[in-house]
């Protein structure tokens, strides 16, 4: 299944090339802490990341994104390949797809696949979204894993917004590892394509917590 997904992602990237693509956009970022679902992926240290996306007029998209990581072993890189479809209907935004997390130099072969779906909707001045992700074999080969999250964002002006998020991770074969994570952030843009983000995060059951900041730049589009 993972090999088939990887093949499909690369094929879509080719199909949504110069002829069919509406946008080809790249991004680079520097963060003081790469946090994934409430857990630091860099030992509370900084990370550099970057990637690019190809999107077709139909809402079909594909992309690749990579980041430095530090798992206190030989793993130094995460590489994500994803493919999906987005659309709007009745005032709601929808997004479904799959993402393959690769760790090319992992000594333990921790690659895993997730299928995801999301919905978003404007609630007056607030922007609401929710998503669900499922992995048949989560990181570390611990069996099926689920992640559900939701959040609200409030634009302060045309370039700045605040948001709050909560997520829950559940593992079918290892319920003792279940936990929740929380975020509260403020973000914005300057010079049209430079983004900034300052965010507090925490995880339940004595997990990680702290504040991290990110600066990013997009190009193309």
List, for residues 119-151, the tens digit of each pLDDT value. 999 999 999 999 999 999 999 899 999 999 999
Structure confidence at residue 1 (pLDDT)? 46
Residue-averaged pLDDT of the chain:
91
Q: Report the pLDDT value the prediction gives residue 16, as an integer from 0 to 100.
A: 47
Burial 151-190 (b: 16+ CB within 10 A, else e): bebeeeeeeebebebebebebeeeeeeebbbebbbebbee
CA 35 to chain centre: 10
Q: Give the pLDDT mean for 93-119.
A: 94
Strand partners, 194: 190, 217
The span from the CA of 96 to the CA of 54, in Å, is: 16
pLDDT surpassing 50 at residue 3: no
Query: pTM for the whole thing?
Result: 0.89
pLDDT digits (tens, 9 = 90+) for 180-211: 999 999 999 999 899 999 999 999 988 889 99
């Amino acid at each position: 299944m993972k090999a088939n997904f990887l093949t499909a992602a690369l094929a879509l990237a080719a199909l949504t090339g110069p002829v069919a693509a509406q946008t080809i956009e790249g991004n680079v970022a520097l963060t003081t802490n790469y946090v994934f679902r409430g857990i630091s992926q860099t030992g509370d240290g900084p990370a550099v990341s970057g990637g690019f996306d190809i999107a077709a007029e139909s809402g079909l998209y594909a992309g690749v994104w990579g980041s430095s990581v530090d798992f206190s072993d030989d793993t130094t890189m995460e590489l994500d390949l994803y493919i999906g479809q987005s659309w709007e209907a009745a005032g709601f935004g929808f997004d479904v797809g799959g993402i393959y997390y690769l760790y090319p130099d992992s000594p333990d072969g921790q690659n895993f696949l997730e299928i995801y779906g999301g919905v978003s909707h404007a609630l007056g001045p607030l922007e609401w979204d929710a998503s669900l992700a499922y992995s048949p074999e989560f990181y570390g080969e611990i069996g099926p894993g689920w992640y559900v999250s939701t959040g609200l964002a409030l634009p302060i002006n045309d370039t700045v917004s605040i948001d709050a998020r909560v997520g829950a991770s559940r593992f079918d074969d290892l319920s003792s590892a279940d936990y929740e994570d929380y975020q509260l952030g403020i973000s914005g843009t300057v010079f049209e394509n430079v983004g900034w983000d300052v965010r507090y995060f925490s995880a339940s059951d004595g997990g990680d917590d702290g504040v991290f900041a990110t600066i990013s730049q997009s190009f193309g589009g």
